Amino acid sequence: MKRIFFAPILILSMLLVSCEENFSPFGTYNQKYVLTCILNSDTAFQTATLSSSYFTGSFSPNDKEEDRSVKFADVRVWYEDSVYVFKDTMVVETDALNNTSVKNYYFNDRFKVAFNKPMEIEVLLENGKRLKAKSQTPKDISFKSNSSVLIPPVSGNLIYIYWTNGNNSSFYQPKLFFKYSKKVNNVITIYEAEIPYNYTLINGLEEAVYPPASNKLSIVYNLDVITKALNNLSKDEPENVSISVYEKLYFTLSILDQNLSRYASSTSKSFNALTVRVNENEYTNIEGGLGIFGSYINKIYDRLRFQPSYIESFGYNYIYQN
């Protein structure tokens, strides 16, 4: 009986020793390159970021501070019948604690994108690695005539904005702005404020909630939220500050192309041109690496107007606009 049990125990001991010698919790490290390039219609200044993954040797990504940006790459974008070469540059950023950091990126300041145009990017690294991607700028939309015009509305407490469908799977990022000014010691400063979609309590503090990107073809703002946003203008201001609010509001709709729409759908988050997150569970359309290449076009609905009596009820001045 002793021999019967001895052999399996000896074999098991050998296996355990062998596993301990070869075991690694990290697996095989494969370096990957991440390309982010989101073109837009608001400016001729287009940017791209290029970085690589790195291995810290531990479970914490902060154990090894390393510049992950990739320099000296050849970055080219084909748009319509032209090729645009991106230049390598950097910017120094300072945070609230006065810590500085260098951000490297690529740029081209010679073109804007328009509706429904094909585009392509190709990146050649110094080591011969090549990254590629294709996309198509989003299709045009139009705002519907039954969208709201006056705030407050003639009846009810809701402000509606509707638009047509550019593409069945497109996502849209809505934002509603208004302009106001403050006069202090005869010095007037003009500001722009975004109106939240709602307010919520987080750890006992009231926080503004803004609409995420979605495939909805309309948005509804509640007058109570707009009223709160206007009240907040003078919340912490002394009595000698004079506040004026401009007549017009500007509703901006960012129309996302198919790649950005898929990214927004996979993350359920808003997008940002320089801070797209990429991991294995999220969308990427970069051949030979990770990241995203896409575009968005902003369209403005500018028929919304504040009514004078509404603005004056807050004690603000009302500025008419043509």
Q: Using one digit for the tens of pLDDT, what is the confidence trace for 97-156?
A: 777 777 889 999 999 999 999 999 999 999 999 999 999 999 999 999 999 999 999 999
Non-local (6+) Cβ contacts of 264 within 8 A are 171, 173, 212, 213, 214, 256, 270, 271
| Distance in angstroms (rounded) separating the CA atoms of residues 279 and 211 | 24
- Stretch 33-38: mean pLDDT, rounded? 95
Greater pLDDT, 264 or 141: 141
Domain range list for the chain: 33-139+271-295, 150-255+301-319
pLDDT greater than 60 at residue 273: no
- 162, 284 Cβ separation under 8 angstroms: no
- Considering only 75-84, 140-149, 272-281, which range has the smallest mean pLDDT? 272-281
Q: What is the pLDDT of residue 97?
A: 72
The token pair that represents 298 in the structure block: 């902003």
Q: How many helices (H) and strands (E) does the chain have?
A: 4, 18
Q: State residue 139's pLDDT score.
A: 95
**What mean pLDDT is predicted for residues 219-233?**
96
- Please calculate the CA angle 260-49-115 and round it to the nearest 5 degrees: 35
Q: What pLDDT score was predicted for residue 282?
A: 66
DSSP string, 167-198: STT--EEEEEEEEEEEEETTEEEEEEEEPPSE
Tell me what pLDDT residue 98 has. Answer: 73
The reported pLDDT for the residue numbered 18 is 46
Residue 28, pLDDT score: 53
pLDDT of amino acid 240: 74
> Does 44 have pLDDT greater than 50?
yes
280 pLDDT higher than 50: no
pLDDT over 90 for what percent of the chain?
67
User: HSE (CB half, 13 Å, CA atoms) of 9?
Assistant: 6
How high is the mean pLDDT of the chain? 85
| Phi, psi (rounded to 5 degrees) for 6 | -65, -45
Q: Tell me how far apart the alpha carbons of residues 6 and 155 are, in angstroms, rounded to a whole number.
A: 89
Other CB atoms closer than 10 Å to residue 148's CB: what's the count?
21
CATH architecture of structural domain 33-139+271-295: Sandwich (2.60)
Q: What is the pLDDT of residue 322?
A: 78
Cα(108)–Cα(234) distance, rounded to whole angstroms?
Answer: 41
User: Higher pLDDT residue, 226 or 96?
Assistant: 226
Average of per-residue pLDDT across 79-85: 95
Retrieve residue 61's tokens.
């990504």
| pTM for this prediction | 0.81
What's the whole-number mean pLDDT along residues 262-270?
A: 76
Tens digits of per-residue pLDDT, 112-123?
999 999 999 999
pLDDT in tens, 159-215: 999 999 988 789 999 999 999 999 998 899 999 999 999 999 998 888 999 999 999
pLDDT for 61 equals 54
